[in-house]
Amino acid sequence: MRPPKLLILLLLTTTVSLTAKGQREYSFSLLGGYTVPNSDEWSYIGGFSSGIDAAIGWQQDWGYEDTNGFFPLLRPKYQLGIRGNFTYFPNDIAGQRFGFCGFLKEPVFHFKNRMLLPCDTNIVTVLNPLCLEMDFGLAAYTNPFCRTPNPQNVFIGSYVNCLIQIGLSYSHMLRNQSRIVLAAKFAHSSNGYLQKPNKGLNYLQLSLGFSLPPVSINGQKCLVSCFDTVDKKSTSFLPVSNWKDKPFDNPAFRGSDIFFSYAPGIVMPRYTGASKKYFYAHTARVGWIYRFNPARAVGVNIDLTYNYSHTAVISHWNEDYNLPFYIGLAAAYEATYHRLTLHTALAAYLTRSEHGTTPLYERVGLFYNLSKEYRRVRHFVGVSLKSHMAHVDFIEWHYGIKFRVKNNK
């Protein structure tokens, strides 16, 4: 299976461009975890694992720009970065794992600690953050399913798989500004049903790490990313003046968008005797989204999905279902970091779902905004995983357009 090139591009576009400036931080961790069986009948995969992790992150300060200049947003600075890890599994069901991810690390709470730093005569207050961490990337397993030598591995059917990790981390600063880092994460690997079998492997993972003191590149302590509200060649579409100290309360950042998107996908059939190895799936979305501050938005949308694999299943089971589309209703939440948007949605089919599955499904995606924010019409591309109860249905490759329909000034 070839790695999805667009996913790799989306993960690395931001971080690769940051190597020449900003504040850089290197971290090293020891990993320990437990493989979680998907059901009781597969309890033989349960077991402990261990590994190592290395990461490099860049501190980000994301703000907006109006006719008065650049203003930082009122939220803690966050990190974007890349990490690589190796995990050893003693049971060798899927072999050993080599992972590579892009990650986002955003503080959700700060614990204050007073201490005397070197070369300082006064005791100062330092912040030790509790962070939400999200990793998106690829994982290579050395022992995928093979009918003869490895028949028990019904979870990982390909060498290359996606790797999604989400959890919390706590960083405690030492006197030399290095940090001790504790983290707890849930990790999932699967191949998006590009190759059977694909039950997926889930892990509960703990880590103990150490971050070196941050390095300032070219005298710049953090990278500044603008929320593009001004068209410098003409007039500003979202002028923000007299913002005082509360950009989140400024109505210029609140407004509605209507969006349309199309996403093709490739699906492997879920039953024996299928006429094809792969089927195509097409999903069209139309919806409404409301930004309640510069970085957060909620919305709803209708999904229209034509899945050739589902059509084959209906024919296989002789089911009486004649509608050409599966119709779903989704509630979405988005978090934006300059040009990158994390998209999550919980949805339910209004008609019916694939044979033998729940009508509920989820979508987790990473979108890249091609257009500047001041434009009324904006384009985006992205990749997402569509799943039923954390069991991946297929990978979607999105192209969409947003139309601003409301702007409170």
Is residue 226 in a domain?
no
164 and 260 assigned to the same domain = no
Q: Do 99 and 243 lie in a common domain?
A: no
pLDDT of residue 1: 38
Q: 188 and 259: one domain?
A: no
Question: What Cα–Cα distance (Å) separates residue 230 from each residue in 93, 168, 207, 233, 303?
Answer: 54, 36, 43, 9, 33
Give the mean pLDDT of 275-286. Answer: 84
Instruction: Say whether both 174 and 272 belong to one domain.
Output: no
Is residue 223 a part of any domain in this protein? no
Q: Report the range of poorest mean pLDDT among 13-22, 181-190, 352-361.
A: 13-22
Closest CA to 77 of 91, 65, 62: 62
pLDDT band at 356; cut points 50, 70, 90: low
- Which pLDDT score is estimated for 292? 83
With the CA atoms of 62, 226, 81 and 396 taken in that order, what torsion angle do they form, in degrees rounded to the nearest 10? Answer: 110
Do 241 and 385 fall into the same domain?
yes
Q: Clarify whether residues 185 and 239 are in a common domain.
A: no
Is residue 155 in a domain?
A: yes
334 within a domain of the structure (yes/no): yes
DSSP count for the chain of H helices, then E strands: 2, 19
Q: What is the pLDDT of residue 2?
A: 42
Tell me how many degrees the CA angle 253-259-263 measures, rounded to the nearest 5.
135
**Domain with 157 in it: what CATH number?**
2.40.160.20
**145 and 261 co-located in one domain:** no
Query: Pick the residue with more confidence: 2 or 308?
Result: 308
Range 365-393 average pLDDT? 87
End position of a domain, from candidates 217, 241, 258: 217
Is 39 a domain residue? yes
Q: How confident is the model at residue 3 (pLDDT cuts 50, 70, 90)?
A: very low
> What pLDDT score was predicted for residue 201?
86
- Regarding whether 239 and 199 lie in a shared domain, the answer is no
Q: Based on the domain organization, do 298 and 379 belong to the same domain?
A: yes
Task: State which of 189, 217, 245 marks the end of a domain.
Answer: 217
Q: Is 45 exposed, middle or buried (0-12, 13-18, 19+ CB in 10 A)?
A: buried
Counting the structural domains of the chain, the total is 2
Q: What is the mean pLDDT of residues 249-269?
A: 81
Per-residue pLDDT at 15 exceeds 50: no
What pLDDT is stored for residue 74 in this prediction? 62
Tell whether 237 and 211 lie within a shared domain.
no
18-27, 87-96, 222-231: which is most confident: 87-96
pLDDT of residue 294: 77
**Residues 324 and 210 placed together within one structural domain of the fold:** no
| 265 within 8 A of 397, measured Cβ to Cβ | yes
pTM (two decimals) = 0.80
Q: Is there a domain that residue 31 lies in? A: yes
CATH of the domain at 338: 2.40.160
User: Of all residues in the chain, what percent carry a pLDDT higher than 70?
Assistant: 80
Which phi-psi region, left, alpha or beta, contains residue 379 (left: φ > 0; alpha: ψ -120 to 50)? beta
- Model pLDDT for residues 142-180, shown as the tens digit of each residue: 988 887 777 878 888 889 998 999 999 999 999 888 999
For 90, the domain range is 5-217
Tell me whether residue 227 is in a domain.
Answer: no
Sorting pLDDT into bands at 50, 70 and 90, what band is 29? very high
Last residue of a domain, one of 187, 217, 247: 217
pLDDT band at 56 (very low <50, low <70, confident <90, very high): very high
What span, in angstroms and rounded, lies between the C-alpha atoms of 27 and 17? Answer: 20
Contact 52, 29 (CB under 8 A): yes
Residue 206 belongs to some domain of the structure: yes
Query: Are 205 and 246 found together in one domain?
Result: no
DSSP notation for 86-111: EEE-TT-SS--EEEEEEEEEEEEEEE
